[in-house]
Amino acid sequence: MIVFLAPDEEIYETAITTLVETHPDIHIEQGLLSAGVLRAHELARQGTEIIITRGGTASGIKEALPDMTVVEVPITGFDVLRTVDLARQYGPRIGIVAFPSMVIGVDCLGPILDVELRHYLICNEFEAELRVLQAFREGVDVVIGGVITGLAAKKLGVPYVPIQSGAEGILQSALEAKRIFAARLLEKLKGTLFRTVLDYSYEGIVSIDREERVVIFNPVASRITGIAGPDALGKVISRVLPLLNLDRLLHTGRDELGQIIELHGTEILCNKIPILVNEKISGAVATFQDTGKIQQWEAAIRKKIYAGGHVATFTFSDVIGNSRTILDAVAIAREFAVTDSSVLISGETGTGKEVFAQSIHNASKRAQKPFVAINCAALPTQILESELFGYVGGAFTGASPKGKSGLLEIAHGGSLFLDEIGELDYTIQGKLLRVIQEKKVMRLGSDRVLPVDVRIIAATNKNLKQRVDHQQFRADLYYRLNVLRLRLPSLRERKEDIRLFANFFLQRFEKKLNPPLRWNPEATERLIHHEWPGNIRELQNIVERIVAVCRQEQIPIELVTRMLRDDDSAESVIQSPICLPGDSAEDIRQALIKTRGRQEAAAKLLGISRSTLWRKMKTLGLRG
């Protein structure tokens, strides 16, 4: 709040006339000298931040209330001109009896107005009468000054003309008070914001000045260190937290980031930075956090990302190809998408089964729900079971005490994509069948069932019917999954699309190359006539390899031939995954013989993962 404290009635009236309309938020009151100081005390208790007044009243308030902001009403040139013009009627010798702040810069007016101005300065109200007497003893014709000078002149019966503050000075002081008030409000807002950041930061913050004394010690710093903030403030940092070595930065001027410090048995991660003002070190600040808390946050973030990361990104517009076979597959898949039945996608490795699975999900009514994918051949049986169905705390050794939601629960309302379904363990097949039939899931170690609404999309590169005949896959699960059947053509069956894929992958991998690469027509013909046992994935790898080694603007046929030959020689014994009828002990023996005992090559020959081959060899008692 701003208050204008007028020392006399005349200034009071002028202030009302001047400020009521232009600055209605400034309160106007009266108070002269001692009375003004008493009123200032009352105003301060009521929350007044700035007082506008002049002369002795201003000096008295400044002395009595050093924390109060006082804006003095200036004596303008117009004020003095008006006063001197009135005073010269008494004679040319004019005595100015006033406080120093009231007569700054008036000496130059004497020659201009053809008068003699003499100064008789006073420091308090009790000196006014003596100075008036002195002025007349020294031959002045009249005295001018403020209210206190007028009272003394009236008592002594001598001529007097008051220096009145005009509208100009009052407006000037009001604007100055408003600027100060706005600046203080801004500083207060900044201070509140700064204090809020310090108090509610998740990091401990300690700052020192150039004398190594603590000037900031926030609540988190108190919690981590066990030192109360008031006990630390103002003390030398080496006595408060010697392990922090924050004072060292005042001498080195170098940042110290990512330090791990042990403090009272707790490890903290600490960053220390010097504070530079005009390129000079004026202090240093340290921020730190308990590493255990950081690990908890990281775990929570990972959990959130994991839970929210089940999103299908591919749509049918991402399917590349103009061949009749792939267009038919897309048309069929679009029809399947509008239903809610299970879909079984079959096709060789690398034909894009997951692309179609995601596209079916995104074209269905479940598009806004989770799309959860899992590779049934990538995990051991026990882990796969816990991932699919979840478990309660303590269900098995190593299980989280809090338990875990299974992928079937996470996929509720959406789709569950089971890749390489043919590798699913026979026991888990029975549990999955029960979930599909009853639409309920029970976590491992629990006796409580949870309802789930999940659409199953399965994919395989095996002949599931043949596996059913060999009692390697449950017939009832097969028929549950094989409601809608979608077969994806191999790249050999859609050779007209090879050129499209070659250009697509070339554009993807050459983004940073300048100038860009382009295919020699003979090179693309060589790609078209290749058999591509690994289908689209193999073509993608070849193109990426070509981009990495090609040093010409046009990719020559020789480079393509060499890459294909190198690929064939490295895996010369590997053929299409469908070349063997099954994965019985005899099939595995033959694959190992053909690959000279190389398990990775044998697994590719059989169309299974290396971990699956290892499990089957162990089960069948075979040696590599």
Q: Using the predicted structure, report yes or no on whether residue 303 has a pLDDT greater than 50.
A: no
CA–CA separation, 316 vs 338, rounded Å? 13
User: With bands split at pLDDT 50, 70 and 90, how would you rate the model's confidence at 579?
Assistant: very low
Residue pair 376/420 in contact by the 8 Å Cβ criterion: yes
CA–CA separation, 398 vs 445, rounded Å? 13
Q: What is the pLDDT averaged over residues 23-35? A: 83
More confident residue, 72 or 513: 72
User: With bands split at pLDDT 50, 70 and 90, how would you rate the model's confidence at 577?
Assistant: very low
Structural domains of the chain sorted by starting position, each given as residue range(s) with its CATH number in brackets: 2-73+170-181 (3.40.50.2300), 77-164 (3.40.50.10660), 201-293 (3.30.450.20), 316-487 (3.40.50.300), 491-570 (1.10.8.60), 577-620 (1.10.10)
Tokens of 407: 């992928």
More confident residue, 459 or 410: 459
Q: What is the pLDDT averaged over residues 366-374? A: 89
User: With bands split at pLDDT 50, 70 and 90, how would you rate the model's confidence at 512?
Assistant: low
Dihedral, CA of residue 320, residue 321, residue 325 and residue 329, to nearest 10: 30
User: With bands split at pLDDT 50, 70 and 90, how would you rate the model's confidence at 578?
Assistant: very low
Task: Give the model's pLDDT for residue 167.
Answer: 81
Helix (H) or strand (E) holding 384: helix 381-389
User: With bands split at pLDDT 50, 70 and 90, how would you rate the model's confidence at 589?
Assistant: confident
Q: Using the predicted structure, report yes or no on whether residue 574 has a pLDDT greater than 60.
A: no
CA–CA separation, 466 vs 469, rounded Å? 5
Considering the chain, what is the average pLDDT of its residues? 85
Task: Give the model's pLDDT for residue 624.
Answer: 58
- What secondary structure letter does DSSP report for 490? P
Neighbours of 465 (CB within 10 A): 13
Task: Give the model's pLDDT for residue 340.
Answer: 92
pTM of the model: 0.47
Q: What is each CA distance from 360 to 370, 407, 590, in whole angstroms? A: 13, 19, 38
Nearest alpha carbon to residue 532 among 487, 499, 559: 499
> pLDDT, tens digit, for every residue of 77-93?
677 788 888 888 899 99
CA–CA separation, 315 vs 357, rounded Å? 9
Q: What is the pLDDT averaged over residues 540-560? A: 88
Task: Give the model's pLDDT for residue 359.
Answer: 96
Q: Using the predicted structure, report yes or no on whether residue 141 has a pLDDT greater than 60.
A: yes
Q: What is the pLDDT averaged over residues 419-432? A: 90
Q: Using the predicted structure, report yes or no on whether residue 34 has a pLDDT greater than 90.
A: no
Task: Give the model's pLDDT for residue 300.
Answer: 55
Q: What is the pLDDT averaged over residues 399-418? A: 85
- What secondary structure letter does DSSP report for 577? G
Q: Looking at this protein, which amino acid is placed at residue 42?
A: E
Task: Give the model's pLDDT for residue 258.
Answer: 85
**Among 108-112, 411-415, 481-485, where is mean pLDDT lowest?**
108-112
Q: What is the pLDDT averaged over residues 431-443? A: 91
Task: Give the model's pLDDT for residue 584.
Answer: 66
Task: Give alpha helix (H) positions in 104-259.
Answer: 109-113, 128-137, 147-156, 167-200, 219-225, 229-232, 237-240, 249-252
More confident residue, 539 or 301: 539
**Among 414-423, 459-468, 607-616, where is mean pLDDT lowest?**
607-616
Q: Using the predicted structure, report yes or no on whether residue 360 has a pLDDT greater than 50.
A: yes
CA–CA separation, 416 vs 337, rounded Å? 14
Which residue in the block uniquely carries the two structure tokens 């267009």? 327
User: With bands split at pLDDT 50, 70 and 90, how would you rate the model's confidence at 142?
Assistant: very high
Task: Give the model's pLDDT for residue 623.
Answer: 63
Q: Using the predicted structure, report yes or no on whether residue 53 has a pLDDT greater than 90.
A: no
DSSP states along 70-83: EEEPP--HHHHHHH
Largest interatomic CA distance in the chain = 136
Q: What is the pLDDT averaged over residues 363-378? A: 90
Task: Give the model's pLDDT for residue 138.
Answer: 92
With a pLDDT cut of 90, the percent of the chain lying above it is 34
Tokens of 438: 């009853």
Task: Give the model's pLDDT for residue 266.
Answer: 80
With a pLDDT cut of 70, the percent of the chain lying above it is 91
> pLDDT, tens digit, for every residue of 470-508?
888 999 999 999 999 999 999 999 999 999 999 999 988
CA–CA separation, 435 vs 147, rounded Å? 98
Q: What angle do CA 326, 328, 331 make, to 5 degrees?
A: 110
User: Which phi-psi region, left, alpha or beta, contains residue 87 (left: φ > 0; alpha: ψ -120 to 50)?
Assistant: alpha
Task: Give the model's pLDDT for residue 581.
Answer: 40
Q: What is the pLDDT averaged over residues 127-141? A: 92
